[in-house]
Structures are given as C-alpha cells and as structure tokens.
Amino acid sequence: MKIGFHTDAFNSAYWSFEKCLQWAQKNRVHYIECGLIDGVSWIHGLGYQPHVALYEDPVLLRCKMEKYGVQFSQVDAAYPLSQADGPLRGVPYVMKAIAWAAQIGCPCVDTTDGLHAPEGLKDPEAMAMMKRSYEQILQVAEAHKIIVNIEPHGYFTTNPDRMAEMLAFVKSPWLQMNMDTGNTFIAGNNPVKFLQRFRKRVSHVHVKDVSASLAAALRGKDTGIAVSTCSLGGGVNADNIRKCLTLLRDAGYDGVLSIECEGQGGPMIEQSLTWLRQSLKALGIKETG
C-alpha cells in the first residue's frame, strides 16, 4: 500500500502547498491530497493556505510536484451535494475538479454530502436530487477517466444503507468510495463493519484516529470531523484502524492510505506517519511508492 496525507494537516499552521511538498519530500511520502479552491481567496493568495486553486495551471504544477517526487492521490471537491444548492454550486465545482484532475494526472476526485439533514428537503427528495447530480458528474468523469469517490462524511453517507444507494446511483466503474476510518467511527458506526460491506468499492482511504475526549463529546451525535486532533495510534480508534488495514490487505487493496490529522506544523503528523509505517510492517504490508 502507498502512504499519503491530506494537506488539511497544515491548515492551522498556515502553510503553503509548496511547504507541504517540502515536508513530503523530507519524510519520503510520495502521495498528497488537497482541497481545490474554485476562485480567489486572499489567505491562499498570500501563501497561508495549503490547498490549490483551480486557476493554477495543472501541467506546470505537476512539473513542480515531480521535482519533489510527489503526486496527487486525490483532490478534494467535497462541496455538500445534499444541500439545496448542491446542483447549483456543487455539481459545476466537481465537474471543473474532474477536468483539472485529468490534466494534472490525479486519479480521483472526492465528493460527499452535508453534515446534517438538508433544510427544506425530505430525505427521498435529497436522495433523488443527488442521484441526478451524480448522473451528470459521472458523464464528465467517464469522459476524462477519473474516479469519483463518495466519502462517508455526512448525514446520508455515514448511513451504510444510504451509502449503498448512492454507490448504485450510476452503474459505472468510475463511481467508488473513499473510506474514512474517523468519520465512520464518530458517526457511531463500526469502521471495520462499514469497510467490510464496501471494501470492493474502495479506491482511496482516509486514515484518521479519534481522541477519547472527542469521541465522548460527539460520537453518535455528529457525522464527520474536519481533521483529527490526535495522531494515529493516540486515540480510541487505533484498534479499528489496524483491523481495517488487515481487511484491506486481505482484499488486495494496493492504493493510498491518506493520513488525516492535525499536523501541529509537523510533529503530530510525523508521529502518525511513524505509527502507520510500524503498523503496516507488523501486518506484513509492504509500503510501496
């Protein structure tokens, strides 16, 4: 399996994307994931945000990343498609992200729903709206040969039955799932059982632990967390992560394990990286680059 990380780890440190590339090179991590910005943001323009804008030329950026020995595993276009404005704002955003990802050589684009039940829409109405949205999105994805992942992160997607419905919106090999060990846990699910049900549809994995205090405060009450406040192995989800790694190994998964945790400017995500590498070794899983 391959190891990567989400640049969300360095939001609080106000790093630039290039500084994240430097960290990846230093720590021998060859895969990176970041959010895409559709427009201009002052904090991004000043170099204080570790994400990438869609106005940045993908080919020139790819050349820069190659110098660091880093490539994208996935780009994040996770505007909540279950909201009433999902078709208006989310669908064009995801479509732009797909075309951009194809140019830079990124295989996957991440999508999701909202954290809560959408206002003004009954559940069947929201599901029907999302089905139409994914039908449009997958036309573009199939043309560009880019995988569209659905991430368990919200009201619908952390419900395994609803996730199954969503993965059946379009019969296409280009519609897959991004497993998230932290979001499934915080939503009150067993991450191992969740993964077991969908392991054949997983093309990308977010590896995220959950602190004891966060679990006590939010488990079963929320559907996702932006970023973990503890390193991998330092929370109450560590055993589930090991079991998920075992399931992935036995299923023949050879994709990216993308670390999601608060980086603290380096130390916390470095602890996560060490823990993950040790866990892979203990489970007989080879880290590939």
Q: DSSP letters of 215-254?
A: HHHHTTT-S--SS-SS-TTSSTTHHHHHHHHHHHHHTT--
Question: What domains sit in the chain, N to C, each tagged with a CATH number?
Answer: 2-282 (3.20.20.150)
Taking CA atoms, 131 is separated from 11, 83, 113, 168, 177, in Å, by 32, 13, 12, 9, 15
- Looking up tokens 């007989």, which residue turns up? 284
Q: Give pLDDT, residue 226.
A: 82
Q: Give pLDDT, residue 227.
A: 84
pTM over 0.85: yes
Q: Give pLDDT, residue 241.
A: 98
Nearest residue to 215 (alpha-carbon basis) of 236, 233, 243, 195: 236
Q: Give pLDDT, residue 289.
A: 87
- Low-confidence spans in the chain with pLDDT less than 50: none
Model pLDDT for residues 104-141, shown as the tens digit of each residue: 999 999 999 999 999 999 999 999 999 999 999 999 99
Nearest 10 degrees: Cα torsion 122, 127, 129, 131: -170
